[in-house]
């Protein structure tokens, strides 16, 4: 019995790490929680060594860049590194600076170039320990493994988290950052859905994705700050319940999301409404579960 439970707990860990409950040699090394953990680690180092020791009650924060110049310098260097590797690193048999999906994309000219430099670095570092079911697989018929939480994109996760950290300091910088990130995203993507200098791409965590998501997040934060904190019109329910147990809900969904009652074999696969209904149903269940956990004062923290 004890061997059985050890085995199932190992399988549980493998499944949390990458949902490939087969063997260690196929274990996916990067992942969402790994990415989050590493990003927060880097940001906490930046804040520990170059952050402000006391937090003054300041209103205007245009001096933030001056005040935290070593942090900004490191972030600018990191972003330069991402840009150089992404656009200048030669990848064998692929065009330099390729950002596409490979497969049948780009008229099938570069079938094995999925993810350009980002994909190449991960395949070189992790070999077989790679994520095999990227979202581009179905649409572009790609054959190469590609990890949406790969190594190169982690740089931009740090940059994104850093922007959030600045905005966490003062609400004035939120409005300022909103415009800067919004304008950057518009220029980088030339306001197109999948084109421009740097296309908005979540799988690559591209710079335009970072600025685009940053802009919308800061807009939402500013609006919520006004509605909830300043005016007191709303307390944020029901979203505060899953928000206070986000790791629990995330892991819970990763483990149980494909089982009843969260999902079922769909009768109308081709239409969108049953997919939509299933997603809303699953989300509502997790909101309900997190509400009960909130009532029981249970909060999972890592
Ligand atoms: C792509 O890789 C496959 C093996 O994974 C190989 O058979 C094929 O020839 C490669 N195609 C190109 C264009 O390099």
Does residue 193 lie in a domain region?
yes
Max CA pair span of the chain: 62
Specify whether the CB–CB gap between 86 and 150 falls below 8 A: no
Listed residues 230, 253, 285: the one ending a domain: 230
Element (H, E) at 207: helix 207-224
Residues 167 and 51 in one domain: yes
Residues 281 and 153 in one domain: no
Ligand 1 atom 8 nearest Cα: 112
Does residue 214 lie in a domain region?
yes
Residues 183 and 254 in one domain: no
CA–CA dist 302, 41 (Å, integer): 12
Ligand 1 atom 6 nearest Cα: 112
Residues 246 and 201 in one domain: no
Specify whether the CB–CB gap between 256 and 285 falls below 8 A: no
Residues 186 and 261 in one domain: no
Per-residue pLDDT tens digits for 205-214 = 999 999 999 9
Does residue 13 lie in a domain region?
no
Does residue 11 lie in a domain region?
no
Q: In this structure, what are the phi and psi dihedrals at residue 144, rounded to the nearest 5 degrees?
A: -80, 145
CA–CA dist 207, 195 (Å, integer): 13
Q: Measured in angstroms, how far is the CA atom of residue 112 from the centroid of ligand 1?
A: 6
The answer to which of 12-16, 83-87, 213-217 has the lowest mean pLDDT is: 12-16
> In the chain, how many domains are there?
2
Verify cis geometry, omega within 30 degrees of 0, for the bond prior to 261.
yes
Ligand 1 atom 10 nearest Cα: 112
The CA dihedral of 115, 118, 120, 125, to the nearest 10 degrees, is -140
Per-residue pLDDT tens digits for 58-98 = 544 555 667 778 899 999 999 999 999 999 999 999 999 99
Q: Measured in angstroms, how far is the CA atom of residue 165 from the centroid of ligand 1?
A: 43
Per-residue pLDDT tens digits for 227-255 = 999 999 999 999 999 999 999 999 999 89
CA–CA dist 126, 162 (Å, integer): 27
What is the reported pTM?
0.83
pLDDT of residue 100: 93
Give the range of the structural domain holding residue 67, as residue numbers without chain letter: 32-90+149-230
């Amino acid at each position: 019995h004890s061997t059985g439970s050890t085995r199932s707990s190992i399988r549980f860990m493998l499944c949390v790490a990458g949902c490939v409950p087969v063997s260690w040699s196929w274990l996916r090394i990067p992942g969402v929680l790994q990415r989050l953990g590493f990003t927060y680690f880097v940001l906490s180092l930046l804040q520990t060594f170059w952050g402000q020791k006391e937090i003054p009650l300041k209103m205007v924060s245009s001096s933030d860049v001056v005040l935290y110049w070593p942090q900004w310098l490191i972030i600018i260097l990191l972003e330069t590194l991402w840009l150089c590797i992404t656009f200048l690193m030669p990848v064998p048999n692929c065009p330099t600076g390729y950002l596409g999906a490979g497969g049948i994309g780009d008229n099938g000219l570069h079938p094995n170039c999925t993810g350009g430099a980002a994909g190449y670095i991960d395949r070189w570092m992790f070999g077989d320990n790679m994520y095999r079911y990227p979202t581009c697989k179905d649409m572009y018929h790609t054959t190469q493994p590609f990890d949406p939480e790969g190594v190169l994109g982690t740089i931009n996760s740090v940059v994104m988290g850093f922007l959030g950290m600045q905005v966490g300091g003062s609400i004035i910088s939120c409005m300022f950052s909103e415009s800067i990130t919004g304008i950057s995203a518009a220029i980088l993507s030339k306001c197109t859905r999948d084109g421009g200098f740097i296309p908005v791409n979540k799988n690559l965590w591209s710079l335009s994705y970072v600025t685009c998501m940053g802009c919308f997040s800061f807009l939402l934060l500013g609006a919520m700050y006004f509605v909830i904190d300043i005016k007191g019109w709303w307390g944020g329910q029901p979203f505060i319940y899953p928000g206070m147990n986000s790791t629990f809900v995330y892991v819970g969904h990763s483990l149980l999301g494909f089982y009843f009652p969260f999902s079922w074999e769909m009768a109308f696969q081709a239409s969108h409404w049953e997919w939509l209904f299933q997603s809303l149903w699953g989300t509502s269940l997790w909101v309900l579960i997190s509400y009960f956990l909130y009532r029981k004062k249970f909060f999972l923290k890592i």
